Amino acid sequence: QKYLQLMARYDRLMEISRQLNSTLDLGTLLNRIIRAATELTDTETASIMLIDPKTGELRFEASSQPSLTAGAMEAIVVPIDNSLAGWVVRHGEPSLVEDVRNDPRFFR
């Protein structure tokens, strides 16, 4: 049973890899990454932020939340200091948070 689950997960990862390698469009690629991340980690939401080269701040580029339209994402700026996303950037490692609302690094 465990072996079959591992094989199914491996097959899904291979399919995701093929999908990710099939596009050069950044928006499409980021949205595929979001879908894969939420599926594989069984999370409610996911987002991708990139560093704005002009300001050094983080900006949303993709999100699994339908309410975050491109215009809404554009308006949100997340500082590197005093934010969970900034912590990830500064430390160069992921951070898994069970309840982000209770994490003191959560940017409000």
Strand partners, 78: 58
Name the band, by pLDDT with cuts 50, 70 and 90, for residue 95: confident
- Residue 21: closest CA among 33, 9, 11: 33
Using one digit for the tens of pLDDT, what is the confidence trace for 12-49? 889 888 888 888 898 899 988 998 888 888 888 888 99
Same domain, 31 and 13: yes
Same domain, 74 and 108: yes
Same domain, 58 and 23: no
Q: What is the per-residue pLDDT for 19?
A: 86
pTM of the model: 0.72
Cα 42 to chain centroid distance, Å, stands at 13
Same domain, 51 and 39: no
Q: Which residues span the domain enclosing 38?
A: 1-43
Same domain, 106 and 80: yes
Same domain, 4 and 37: yes
Helix 2-20 and helix 26-41, axial crossing angle in degrees, nearest 10: 170
Same domain, 38 and 48: no
Q: How many folded domains does the chain comprise? A: 2
Same domain, 51 and 20: no
Q: What is the per-residue pLDDT for 72?
A: 78
- Residue 75: closest CA among 83, 92, 84, 63: 63
Same domain, 22 and 75: no
Same domain, 2 and 37: yes
